Every structure is written in C-alpha cells, then in structure tokens.
C-alpha cells in the first residue's frame, strides 16, 4: 500500500504518495486546491516521478562507504578514472552543470560513467567568457546534487567563481572527468564503438558503452554574425562577444555594440566602467526587467513559483527557491508538478505586469531614451522567450540606468545600412564613428534545431541526425521538448540545465532507460 503525506499551504494541499512497485519506487504528487469555504477541488494536477530502483540504492547518508582506507585511495582513484579494469557503461559528452549533475547521480548508483570535455579544465565554459560575466539566477536555483553551496556563498556568482566551484565539485565528488578530450565518432552496431581522441594524438576505443548523454549546452558553438555591406572596408576591429574578454583592451577607442540583450548590456557596462566611449545599437525590441524586482517577486517569497488556478480569480503562490524554501529536491519536485500551460495562460502575464509596475520608472526612462521594449511573447515576459529561443531579454543589473543617463549611448531609430572605413552608416544617412564593433548576436540559437545538434551529428552521423528528436521549444502540451529524455535513438540522450536539473518532459524515462540494461 502506498504511504501518503500532505503539505498544506495557503489555498492548496499537496498530497505526496509514495509507491513501492516491483522494481522501483515512485512519488505521486496530487495537488488539491481550495476553491470555496469548506470545499476542495481534488487532483487539479498529478505528477508521477521515478524516485529510485529496487536493488540500486543511492550510496549516500547511512549507505556511504564505511571502509577505512590506509594509503590506497589515490591509486584506486587513478585506476578508476583511467578505466583500467573495465569500460564505462555511460559516456557523458560535456562537463558543464548538466553533465556534472548527470554523472554525480549515476555515480551514487554505482553506474560506471566517463565524462569528456574538450576544454583544458572543468569550468572553462564560464572561465573563458568575458570577465564581467555574472550569473543572473540566484544561488538557490543553481544547486548541484549532493553538494550544496556553502551558506556564505553570494546570491549572484561571478563567472570565474562558478567555474572554480564546478571544477572543485568534479574533484570532490570523484567524477571520472577526461579534459582536453574530444569524442570523434560513435556508431551503434552489435555494440557501441566509441573512439575517444586525446591531445597527444592517441586514441582509445570503447566498444561496450551502452548509453551516450550529450550535455553540450543551450547554444551552438558557431557565432551568429549578421552580414552587412562594407565590412571589408572597415579599418577597425570586428569581433563577436565570444571573443571579447576585457574592457581594458579597448581604452581610448570608440566601441559600438551591436545587440541589446544580456551580453550587449554586460559588455557595454564593462566598457563604460573603463571610461570607454560606447554606443549600443538596438535592432529590435527587448524585454527588460530589473534583477532586484525579479529576485523579490520570484525568489524571495513575495510571490512564485506555482500558481494553481481554481477559478479565474483564485490563485496561490509559493517561493520555492529562496533562503527559507524547502530542500532543493522537494522544490524541484513541486516545480515540476505543474505544467507550463498554467504559466502561459494568465500567470506569466500577471507576473510580467507586476514586475513592470515595480519597474515603472526604469521602463519609462528607457522608453524616453528611445530604447525599444516589449513584454515578451503574448505578454509572458521572459518565460516564453527563454523556453522558445533563449534570447531577446535582459535582466537589468545596472546598464539600463546608464542608458537612461546617456552614459551608454543608444542608436535605435534607424536600421544599419553598411560599414564605412571609420564606422557605421544608417539608412537615414547618419553615421557613428567606431574603432571597434562587437557583435552580441548569440551563438547558434537552439530554435534552429540545427547548430545545437551539430556536435551530435558530427559524432553520431547523418542517420542519427535524421532520427533524432527536436530539443528545446515546446511540444503540443506546452512542455519542453527533448530535455532530459531520449533523442529517439536507442542509447542516446540529451540534457540541458533549466533552473534545476529536473526540468523537461521526460526525466523519469531518462533514468529508466539508463537502467534498463
């Protein structure tokens, strides 16, 4: 018989049901919502989640390794990481947050796993970006399994700081990470042959890997650079945001930043702080909300993250990721228990309007300066923009006020016509002088369903490219496609981090298929 526990909060009771089947343990989360005095509307939403498999307990807590180890650990780790005694069951391509989370989960279940990374060090995907980069999600939404951030960790992490944490996490969790390593080919025959190339030219072929998990990130690897006439005649420097590192390299120069989303604002602010003459060229409208008010609304308990609609005028909000929120695994479960369709049918619009009202002075100031604003797709703010494209928004951390104060110059009233020898010419004949032009135009947005899959196609071949499922964007039910689920090809999976590692429309299928063999 299942055991039940209930969590009662204002306007809603979530009934947790623990099922013990023949092979696995599941959690059922039933949301029972209050609709009128003395009346409840039962089972408004039901989530069934795979919690574990019988015979494969997680080696944590009372099941942690009890053995006394005198001088053997270093040699054991070296042998394990080199796979001297056996081949890995699972190979994970990519050692960012998603890849590390997958490998940590599998390690605690004694599934032999190798994670490969083409960069020299874990964390280089953050470390090698521009030095002014900082996470815009707070610490509570960025946890990794089994190893939480220290209690004094800042709310918002710098890129270098989070890079160091990811590297330390891999070491502390004893994950088998192979850096400076590029997986060159993977084919499935009677067994899965997996050549693995190393920097010195050596190759190692694994023939018994049963599953490959790609965790290669949200964007592709190729910069999006629009083509404008006259670029060959421009005497200055043209670079993409992926090539930009330090503002100090451009002191004394005039810089034009093409783009008006997150990277554009970060880089323009970085340049301004070094006293550099910087102009932002905005081609299309941007959704803007302040980081301060997002934190207050979405993460600090004023509102969020769940809205249960009982009628058109009844709702409930709960802060799931904050200083006083439930444990992360509980918050993840509760967050995953409500479909995105609730959010896009009124909830996100109300949140967008609420934050816009709190940001009224900021938004009015931007509009007066000529900065083009929008409220996102169908008024949903950043949510649908993120779920469908991953772009076209900015979480303001100070750049907006610099634009309002004219400390960051703005050009948004005319389209760019061409480059000149000394700058940019617009369709009305006006010109902006420039020594440096920085494109902040993204890197192969996943909505193309092409560039983000390039690495998969290169490794697994054209046949896999034809069979694979789409990743990202929303399916017919309004849920994310392809994230944390199979790719439509046996043994092939794709994962991406979205707030927490539980997002996507097939997490339970992901773990079930990993364990089937």
Question: Per the structure, how many domains does the chain have?
Answer: 2
Q: Which residue has the tokens 């996102």?
A: 376
Query: Does residue 454 share a domain with residue 427?
Result: no
pLDDT at 249 over 90: yes
Strands 24-36 and 12-20 come out as antiparallel
What's the confidence (pLDDT) of residue 302?
43
* pLDDT computed for residue 16 by the predictor: 62
| pLDDT greater than 50 at residue 192 | no
Q: 418: pLDDT confidence band, cut at 50, 70 and 90?
A: very high
Whole-angstrom Cα distance, residue 55 to residue 496?
28
Please give the pLDDT value at position 38. Answer: 54
- Let me know whether 278 and 166 are in one domain: no
In a domain, 267, yes or no: yes
* Angle at which helices 360-368 and 348-358 cross, to 10°: 80
Same domain, 425 and 450: no
Alpha helices (H) in 314-410, listed in sequence order: 328-336, 340-342, 348-358, 360-368, 382-388, 399-404
Predicted TM-score of the model (pTM): 0.84
Domain shared by 486 and 510, yes or no:
yes
In a domain, 178, yes or no: yes
Looking only at Cα atoms, what is the longest distance across the chain? 77
End-of-domain residue from the set 413, 439, 465: 439
402-424: string of b/e by CB count within 10 Å (b at 16+)?
A: bbbeeebbbbbeeebbebbebbb
Three-state DSSP class for residue 192: strand
In this structure, the answer to whether residues 424 and 279 fall within a common structural domain is: yes
Residues counted in the chain: 517
Mode of pairing for the β-strands spanning 431-433 and 423-426: antiparallel
Tokens of 383: 């949510």
Task: Answer whether residue 470 is part of any domain.
Answer: yes
CA distance 127 to 73: 30
CB 303 within 8 Å of CB 351: yes
Mean pLDDT of 243-271: 97
124: left (phi over 0), alpha (psi -120 to 50) or beta: alpha
Can you name the residues that pair with 439 across neighbouring β-strands? 240, 258
Query: Is residue 452 one of the residues assigned to a domain?
Result: yes
Give the integer Cα–Cα distance in Å for 393 and 287. Answer: 4
Where residue 458 falls among pLDDT bands split at 50, 70, 90?
A: confident
Q: What is the DSSP string of 341-362?
A: HHIIIIIHHHHHHHHHHHTHHH
Cβ pair 98, 138 in contact under 8 A: no
The helix (H) or strand (E) run that includes residue 287 is strand 287-290
Q: How far apart are CA 27 and CA 42, in angstroms?
A: 17
Average pLDDT, integer, range 133-158: 92
pLDDT at 463: 79
Cα–Cα distance measured from residue 380 to residue 287, given in angstroms and rounded to the nearest whole number: 10
pLDDT at 218: 64
Do both 461 and 427 map to the same domain?
A: no
140 and 90 housed in the same domain: yes
Dihedral-angle region of residue 451 (phi above 0 means left; psi in -120 to 50 means alpha; beta otherwise): alpha
Distance CA 72, CA 82 (A): 16
* Residue 59 included in any domain: no
Q: Which domain holds residue 124?
A: 79-220+445-516
278 and 408 fall within a common domain: yes
User: Tell me, what's the pLDDT at 503?
Assistant: 45
pLDDT given for residue 148 in this prediction: 94
Same domain, 268 and 128: no
- The tokens for 114 are 């190798």
Q: What pLDDT is recorded for position 311?
A: 31
User: Is residue 241 situated within a structural domain?
Assistant: yes
| SS3 assignment, position 411 | strand
How many other CB atoms are found less than 10 A from the CB of residue 446?
24
| Residue 35 in domain | no
Structure tokens at 24: 């696995």
189 lies in the same domain as 267: no
* 51 burial level (CB within 10 Å; 0-12, 13-18, 19+): middle
Pick the residue with more confidence: 427 or 466?
427
Q: Does 335 map to a domain?
A: no
Is the same domain home to 105 and 237?
no
CB neighbour class for 150 (10 Å; exposed up to 12, middle 13-18, buried from 19): exposed
- Count Cβ atoms below 10 Å from residue 390 Cβ, excluding itself: 19
Contact call for residues 142 and 135 (beta carbons, < 8 A) = yes
Report the C-alpha gap between 355 and 394 in whole angstroms. 13
Residue matched to tokens 């055991």: 3
Strand partners, 290: 396
Tokens read off for 175: 């994950």
Tokens at 60, concatenated: 């944590």
Average pLDDT of the chain is 81
At 325, the pLDDT band (50, 70, 90 cuts) reads confident
Whether 187 has a pLDDT exceeding 70, the answer reads yes
Q: What CATH number has the domain bearing residue 408?
A: 3.50.50.60
Residue 232's SS3 state is helix
Tokens encoding 81: 């990481």
């Amino acid at each position: 018989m299942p055991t039940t526990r209930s969590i009662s909060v204002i306007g809603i009771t979530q009934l947790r049901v623990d099922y013990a089947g023949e092979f696995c343990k599941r959690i059922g989360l039933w949301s029972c919502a209050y609709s009128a005095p003395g009346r409840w509307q039962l089972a408004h939403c039901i989530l069934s989640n795979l919690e574990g498999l019988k015979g494969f307990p997680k080696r944590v807590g009372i099941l942690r390794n009890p053995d006394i180890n005198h001088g053997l650990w270093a040699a054991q780790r070296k042998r394990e990481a080199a796979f001297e005694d056996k081949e890995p069951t699972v190979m994970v391509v990519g050692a960012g947050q998603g890849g590390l989370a997958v490998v940590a989960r599998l390690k605690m279940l004694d599934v032999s796993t190798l994670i490969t990374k083409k960069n020299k060090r874990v964390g280089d995907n953050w470390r090698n970006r521009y030095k002014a980069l900082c996470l815009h999600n707070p610490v509570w939404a960025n946890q990794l399994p089994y190893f939480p951030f220290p209690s004094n960790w800042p709310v918002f992490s710098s890129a270098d700081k989070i890079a160091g944490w990811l590297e330390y996490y891999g070491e502390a969790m004893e994950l088998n990470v192979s850096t400076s390593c590029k997986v060159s080919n993977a084919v499935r025959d009677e067994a899965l042959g997996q050549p693995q190339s190393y920097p010195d030219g050596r190759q190692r072929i694994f023939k018994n890997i049963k599953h490959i998990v790609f965790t290669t990130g949200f964007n592709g690897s190729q910069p999006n650079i629009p083509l404008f006439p006259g670029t060959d005649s421009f005497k200055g420097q043209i670079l993409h945001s992926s090539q930009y590192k330090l503002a100090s390299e451009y002191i004394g120069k005039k810089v034009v930043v093409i783009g008006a989303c997150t990277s554009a604002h970060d880089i323009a602010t970085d340049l301004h702080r070094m006293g550099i003459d910087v102009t932002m060229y905005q081609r299309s409208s941007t959704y803007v909300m302040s980081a301060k008010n997002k934190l207050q609304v979405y993460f600090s308990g004023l509102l969020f993250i769940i809205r249960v609609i009982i009628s058109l005028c009844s709702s409930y909000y709960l802060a799931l990721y904050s200083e006083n929120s439930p444990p992360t695994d509980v918050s993840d479960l509760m967050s995953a228990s409500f479909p995105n369709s609730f959010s896009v049918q009124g909830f996100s619009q109300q949140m967008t309007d609420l934050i816009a009202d709190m940001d009224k002075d900021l938004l009015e100031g931007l509009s007066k300066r000529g900065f083009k604003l929008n409220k996102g797709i169908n008024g949903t703010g950043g949510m649908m923009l993120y779920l469908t494209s991953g772009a076209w928004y900015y979480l303001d951390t100070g750049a907006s006020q610099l634009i309002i104060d004219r400390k960051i110059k703005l050009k948004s009233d005319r389209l760019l016509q061409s480059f000149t020898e000394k700058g940019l010419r617009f369709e009305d004949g006006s010109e902006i002088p420039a020594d440096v032009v920085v494109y902040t135009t993204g890197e192969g947005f996943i909505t193309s369903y092409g560039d983000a899959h390039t690495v998969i196609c290169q490794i697994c071949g054209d046949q896999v490219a034809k069979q694979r499922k789409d990743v990202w964007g929303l399916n017919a039910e309004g849920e994310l496609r392809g994230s944390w689920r199979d790719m439509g090809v046996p043994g092939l999976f794709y994962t991406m981090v979205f707030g927490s590692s539980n997002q996507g429309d097939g997490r339970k299928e992901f773990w079930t298929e990993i364990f089937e063999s």
